[in-house]
Structure 1
Amino acid sequence: MAASIRIGTSDLSIAPLALGTNVFGWTADRDASFGVLDGYVAGGANFVDTADGYSHWVPGNGGGESETIIGEWIASRGAREQLVLATKVSTHPQFSGLAASNVRAAVDASLNRLQTDRIDLYYAHFDDADTPLEETVAVFSELVDAGKIRSIGVSNYTAERVAEWFAIAKDGGYHLPVALQPLYSLVERGFESNGLREVATSEGLTVFPYYALARGFLAGKYRDAADATLPGASPRAALASEYLDDRGRRVLGALDEIAASHGVEVASVSLAWLRQQPTVGAPIASARNTEQLPALLASLDLELSAPELDALTAVSA
């Protein structure tokens, strides 16, 4: 299995695969989510990623469903010490944005739902143009001092705004972020050219890409546009099928070849390629049932050769 890694300059150590949980309370009900968490931890991994807004977009949901399920699982298993727990603030309908008063209220609500006394990694989920960045930087640092969070992360920020966060934090003597969560995968390569990789390198940020499997496309689940309409298809299938162009088919072809040579599934190869990219600590991947977990966990043991990495990089360019 791939060696554990440290998140930035923090004292947080993780297996290099993050379990995304935006499906909890959406396409995975409570029992299915419990099964996924049980299997993920049993497989030797420990890094769970959620957000206070998951999954408010589902009819009947109000936000916080994913955190609530995770909190109930932690309580029922007595498993808090087994996890490194990441969540985010700014998208819960009742706690929108990154004003200081909102962040203070939101973190307490997340702690309550997660049934824990601290959050290991707390992200600013989306930049808030209506709140001065100085205010957000200060309140996140305040939460570290209060012991409510251990480390700070930023998600969905431009490179310029990440650099500005660091400038403000250094100038004010505030705690610095240790993690960055951008969109990045074999079919979403903008991270390499939009300045985010450079700022992650310069500031020592550990990168955790979301949509690492491109909503299931890079798991090989959608080979034809009709696959998105089959019974049992994920609600995300229509978005995944948007990658089914000539480039996407070339990527799947290369993935198929490498997966066959290793005797693993396509998803395992996709995640291994991402994990082996510069600055990346762990890809984030979700599972809505235990049947999807083995391919994710297998990526931890898969080391692609330099020619295999280069072939995937070239075909997905």
Structure 2
Amino acid sequence: MQTRSIGTSDLEVAPLVFGGNVFGWTADERTSFSILDAFVDHGLNFIDTADVYSAWVEGHQGGESETIIGKWFKESGKRHKVVLATKVGMLGTRAGLSAANIAAAVDDSLRRLKTDYIDVYFSHLDDDKTPLDETLGAYQKLIQAGKVRVIGASNYTGARLEEALKVAKESSLPAYQILQPEYNLYDREGYETELEPVAEAHKVAVATYFSLASGFLSGKYRSKEDMQGKARGSRVEKYLNERGLKILDALDEAAKRHDTTPATIALAWIIARPSVTAPIASATSVQQLESLAAATRLELDPEEVAELDEASAWQK
């Protein structure tokens, strides 16, 4: 499996990221450990979480995902096999990107993760109330202290990412090496028009979230009945339209040709895009993980990519 670089850093990652939002939410601790072990066994090494996971669940405060990963590191001894990403800025008690908040939040995360360094530390959400040089200066201190290796930006507009990169260059501060945008076969326009040009121009790595459109691209939601009682059902409703079903048809056809699943094809399509370093995807069982890992071994030919491009075209 060919690894890919995170920006201009020396971090090398496999072309698939495991999304840790499920840990402590839809996957309990023991299941999470099994998934993490299987993920590493597949030769994969990039795991993404955040301090806010899973504060949206009743009775949770945030930090549940980090805590499970930390326990797994301690129990398995596999910290050295993982490029670990977590995020700051969205947890209610640690909101924003001020220097003081970042300094406090990173120590909270390190404690939960039972590690002394974070490979990739993301600004989870842009904070227009805090000057960019204050945020980047806070990250500089963390990098100098050995607590963080590289930094990334999630949920930034193209203009703000460009501005942050400019401030970093002019002030000799650390630059964002990786971007985390929403991107999948259905949600294409925002990334392709606004963010991709900036990422390509500045050699910024890209790890896409909602890579399977909250599970819609796995093919398990094809009617409103399929969504009832599902944790992500409400997020999927917007995809149940003519274009969404056309995309599923194209995925079904490609999956049959390769004797694989629609999810595998959907991820392989993202992996094939030159600007993308790795899609983020989650699983709640070792069996589900198999179809994610298979995407790293499947190479779509140009004609298949073109067919999926056409089925998912957003241009009118």
1:265 is matched with 261
* Cα distance in 1 between the residues matched to 2:50 and 2:150: 15
2:53 is matched with 54
2:100 is matched with 101
TM (norm. structure 2) is 0.97
Question: What is the root-mean-square deviation in Å for CA atoms of aligned residues?
Answer: 1.0
Tell me the alpha carbon deviations over residues 235-257 of structure 1, each in whole angstroms, 9 at most, x when there is no partner: 11221232010001110000000
1:303 maps to 2:299 = yes
Tell me the alpha carbon deviations over residues 54-96 of structure 1, each in whole angstroms, 9 at most, x when there is no partner: 0001000000000000000010001110100000000122211
TM (norm. structure 1) is 0.97
Letter in 2 for 1:208: A
Tell me the alpha carbon deviations over residues 181-240 of structure 1, each in whole angstroms, 9 at most, x when there is no partner: 00000000024444210110111011000000001001111111100115xx3x112212
Out of 246, 249, 253, the residue aligned to residue 253 of structure 1 is 249
Structure-to-structure mapping, 1:1-317, within 5 angstroms = 2-229=1-228, 233=230, 235-317=231-313
* Cα distance in 1 between the residues matched to 2:288 and 2:237: 19
Letter in 1 for 2:311: V
Tell me the alpha carbon deviations over residues 22-72 of structure 1, each in whole angstroms, 9 at most, x when there is no partner: 111111111111111111111110100000110001000000000000000
* Cα distance in 2 between the residues matched to 1:40 and 1:13: 16
- Structure 1 contact 100–139 (Cα < 8 Å) conserved: yes
Letter in 2 for 1:260: K
- Structure 2 contact 74–114 (Cα < 8 Å) conserved: yes
Letter in 2 for 1:245: N
Q: Secondary structure at the match of 1:268?
A: helix
- Structure 1 contact 120–150 (Cα < 8 Å) conserved: yes
- Structure 1 contact 259–266 (Cα < 8 Å) conserved: yes
* Cα distance in 1 between the residues matched to 2:296 and 2:274: 17
Letter in 2 for 1:309: V
Letter in 2 for 1:152: I
Give the number of aligned pairs. 313
Single out whichever of 261-270 and 135-144 deviates more from structure 2. Answer: 135-144
Letter in 2 for 1:83: V
- Structure 2 contact 87–121 (Cα < 8 Å) conserved: yes
Shift of 1:161: 0.5
* Cα distance in 2 between the residues matched to 1:315 and 1:130: 41
Q: Secondary structure at the match of 1:19?
A: strand
Q: Secondary structure at the match of 2:196?
A: helix
* Cα distance in 2 between the residues matched to 1:311 and 1:134: 44
Letter in 2 for 1:137: L
Single out whichever of 240-249 and 98-107 deviates more from structure 2. Answer: 240-249
* Cα distance in 2 between the residues matched to 1:270 and 1:38: 24
Shift of 1:175: 1.6
- Structure 1 contact 120–151 (Cα < 8 Å) conserved: yes
Q: Secondary structure at the match of 1:121?
A: strand
Structure 2 residue runs without a partner (length 5+):
none
* Cα distance in 2 between the residues matched to 1:144 and 1:9: 15
- Structure 2 contact 53–64 (Cα < 8 Å) conserved: yes
- Structure 1 contact 88–123 (Cα < 8 Å) conserved: yes
Letter in 2 for 1:99: S
- Structure 2 contact 181–191 (Cα < 8 Å) conserved: no
Single out whichever of 67-76 and 237-246 deviates more from structure 2. Answer: 237-246
Tell me the alpha carbon deviations over residues 4-27 of structure 1, each in whole angstroms, 9 at most, x when there is no partner: 111111111111100001111111
